[in-house]
A and B are shown apart, each in its own frame.
Chain A
Amino acid sequence: MKNTEPTDAGRRDFLGKAAATMVAPGVVLHAVAEAEPRREPVSGKVRWGMLIDTTKCADGCRACVDACDRENGLTLQSKPEDEDARKWDQQRAIWIRQVKVRDNLTGRVTGLPVMCQHCEFPPCVDVCPTGASFRRADGIVMVDRHICIGCRYCMMACPYKARSFIHEAVEEKLTLAPRGKGCVESCNFCVHRLDNGKTTTACQDACAKDGHGAIVFGDLRDPGSPVAKALAQHQSTQIRPELKLNTGVRYHGL
């Protein structure tokens, strides 16, 4: 707590500069964040992160996956005529994987969504030969599709199996989420939303709308953010903590 004090002050100052007038710091912060697309480069004063409460994650629910597909246009591709149906299905781009883990000693089964874990030290970035796989200053690990050559080393390196390769041409594209054949892609915390002033991800909204509220998203460096508060309160764990990747996505109840 002692250490976070100056960081928080700096962040408020930084965001406050963007606002012309200031009534109350909290109010203005929110208003600016909602209204405007980003003008200033992202900085390390923010680190986006997520806490997923697996105890609230309902069995058979696909709300977050469907919302992610819709938001990022993952379903806007259709199978080419000469393509094998099974192969097409296996090669579909998946940003959120639904995983079930079973404790062999107790038999307890837990279902959880696994997406890009947004590591502080991402193996996908280490292996990328072109620099296309990168970690943005605000902690989002993503692919610059302009320089991705589709070699798929990052897919091999990722311990979470979080990345997908686009095997076929994309006919219908979205303005906010461009994607095309020959590149690797993965969850980017709905970066287009964050850059356009929103503070939520599509999966989080869908989960809350369905009444589960299993996903909390926000700035890990801001002690006042919902995710930081939830992390301070509840037990949480990283997947594969022994790799020491310091993931931005944490799980409760695993």
Chain B
Amino acid sequence: MFLMVTRRLLTGLLAGALVAFAGTAGADANWKQTTNSKATALEQCVRPTGEIRRYHMDLLKHQRDVTVHEGVRKTPDALAGCIDCHVNKDSQGKLIPVNAEGQFCSSCHAFTAVHLDCFQCHATVPTAR
């Protein structure tokens, strides 16, 4: 019984990992091909793409403390920088929120079923103020 459960668990994990890998790889291809953000034209993000994909939440979490408590704003790891570079425009030239369906942030977050709480407070498109 125990063996069966373990085997089932392992198979599940393996399948899950495969799907997750294929999913994020797909998301990458998607946003690169179908978007017009500043990031589309760039070779690489502020760090290698794989690193960003795996650790962006840690970088952002660290940066938020440094910014709020120490006032450091000149940094490549600020959320405002991510949004500024990755926001797309629609056919009328209007900015599309990064958390709208299929957009840069939401495409991966919807797939991986991870809540995206940043935008309860933070702007989803760059604003002048």
- The SS class assigned to the A binding surface is loop
B37, chain A: closest CB distance, angstroms:
16
Is B124 located at the chain interface by the 8 A CB criterion?
A: yes
Contact A173 B124 (CB under 8 A): yes
Residue-by-residue, is A179-199 near B (CB-CB < 8 Å gives 1, otherwise 0)? 111110000000110111000
User: Number of B residues whose C-beta is below 8 Å from A?
Assistant: 22
Tell me which of A39-47, A117-125, A229-237, A240-248 binds B. A39-47
Residue-by-residue, is B50-71 near A (CB-CB < 8 Å gives 1, otherwise 0)? 0000000000000011111111
Contact B71 A195 (CB under 8 A): yes
Contact B69 A37 (CB under 8 A): no
Is A175 located at the chain interface by the 8 A CB criterion?
A: yes
Contact B71 A138 (CB under 8 A): yes
User: Number of A residues whose C-beta is below 8 Å from B?
Assistant: 35
Is B22 located at the chain interface by the 8 A CB criterion?
A: no
A72, chain B: closest CB distance, angstroms:
9
Contact B71 A36 (CB under 8 A): no
Residue-by-residue, is B75-90 near A (CB-CB < 8 Å gives 1, otherwise 0)? 0000010010000000
C-alpha gap A191/B67 in the complex (Å): 11
A residues neighboring B (CB under 8 Å): 36-42, 71, 73, 134, 136-138, 142, 144-146, 169-170, 173-183, 191-192, 194-196
Counting from the closest, the 4 A-B pairs by CB-CB distance are: A180-B121, A41-B70, A37-B73, A180-B120
B residues neighboring A (CB under 8 Å): 64-74, 80, 83, 119-124, 126-127, 129
